[in-house]
Every structure is written in structure tokens, then in C-alpha cells.
Amino acid sequence: MRKPREYDDIPGTYVFDYERSHRGYHLNMFGMSLLKPENREAFLADEEAYLKKFPMTEEQRQSVLNRDWLGMIKLGGNIYYTSKIGATLGHSFQYIAGEMCGMSQEDYADMMIKGGRNPEGNRSVSEKY
């Protein structure tokens, strides 16, 4: 059993600890493979066939096919690896960020220009500050 961690209390945050890293290993290594142009081409040509080369869970495969960017993170994806999937599909980082927090890319970009998400109320689930 995993011990609860102090950082579990940070809202909307999935700290990439050893448990998440282990769960997401093959999903992330799939993302890593997309650094090679020939792999990007193979993935774009037939996503399902390419995904089958990696022994990830069906849920993880579906999260990629469904472009479920937050789902990938919850299933052990790490943002530096899932963003490589995004880049291969032609998405900007801010598009993926917006998707993860349920905002359009435009609204997300606008929030950033106005100074970003305020930490007030976003630090702790239990203590609400």
C-alpha cells in the first residue's frame, strides 16, 4: 500500500513519483519514441498499430486515441512525455494545458497573459488556502 503523501493535498497536481512513473512507464516511453521522425510518421500513419508496439494498458492506449490529455496524466503519463505526443499531433503546449484544465486554448493563453492562475485557493485541498 502506498503511504499518503503531503503533496497529495495539492489540488489538480499529479506529482510524478515512483508509483506514477512505474504505472506510466510504457505510455511515457511511447511518447519518447516520437522523438524519431520515422516513428512519428509510423504513429500518424496508423495510430492503433503503432500503439500496440508498447505494452501499455488498454486504458492508456484509449487515452491517447481519445486525446484525453488529463486522462494520460492520471494514468501515469508525465507531461514532458505526453507533450511529445501533443507535438506529433500538431498541438501547442498551451492547447494541451488548456485541455487539462478544461479551458479553451484562447482562454488559457489569456489567463497566462493576465498573470497566470492565482495560487490563492489553489495550494491545499484540506486547508483551502
Partner 1 sequence: MAKITAGVATSHVPAIGAALDLGKSGEPYWKPIFDGYDKSKKWMAEAKPDVVILVYNDHGTAFALDVVPTFALGVTDIYPPADEGWGPRPVPNVHGHVELSRHLAESLILDEFDLAIINEMAVDHGLTVPLSLMCGQPEAWPFKVIPLAVNVVQYPPPTGRRCFKLGQAIRKAVESFDEELNVVVMGTGGMSHQLHGERAGMINKEWDNQFLDDLSGDVQRLVQLDHVEYMRETGAEGIEMVMWLIMRGALNENVKEVYRFYHVPGSNTAIGNIILENS
Residues at the contact surface with partner 1, assessed by CB under 8 A: 6-7, 10-18, 21, 25, 28-29, 31-32, 34-37, 40, 70, 73, 78-81, 83-84, 87-88, 93-94, 97, 100-102, 108, 111-113, 115-119, 122-124
C-alpha cell, 88: 506529433
Task: Look at residues 63, 66, 65 and name the one whose alpha carbon lies nearest to residue 24.
Answer: 63
> Following CA atoms 98, 51, 28, 95 in sequence, which dihedral angle do they give, to the nearest 10 degrees?
-10
Whole-number minimum distance, CB 71 to partner 1, in Å? Answer: 12
Whole-number minimum distance, CB 2 to partner 1, in Å? Answer: 13
Whole-number minimum distance, CB 35 to partner 1, in Å? Answer: 5
Contact (Cβ atoms closer than 8 angstroms) between residue 35 and residue 88: no
